[in-house]
Amino acid sequence: MASIDDIVNKLLNTARELGITAEVDEYGREKIVILNLAEDFSIYVSVVCNNECDVEYAIGDDNFIFKPKQLDFLKRSVEIIESINNEIIKSP
């Protein structure tokens, strides 16, 4: 089974391959990888591992909202999330 660090490293590697800047915040046993697509628009990937690992996604600014002028980022966000998800579910 993959560890939280394995998943975070896969996320960071995928972001690097896609040319996206990324940072990691840690809150106790949760790590959040922030993929910065534009000013005030990011993909947030929350990873928490106990017996199994849970991954959740959010998009937008730091309050998970976005403005109508940022709608073009939605399609790209979905493509990136699909790419990330494919990497995460691959065997280690």
Residue 1: the pLDDT is 58
This prediction's pTM? 0.89
User: Measured between alpha carbons, how far is 65 from 42 in angstroms, rounded to an integer?
Assistant: 10
Residue 3: the pLDDT is 87
Residue 91: the pLDDT is 47
Show the CA angle centred on residue 77, arms to residues 82 and 72, nearest 5°. 140
Ranges in the chain, pLDDT < 50 = 91
What are the structural domains, with CATH classification, of the chain?
Answer: 4-89 (3.30.310)
Residue 92: the pLDDT is 53
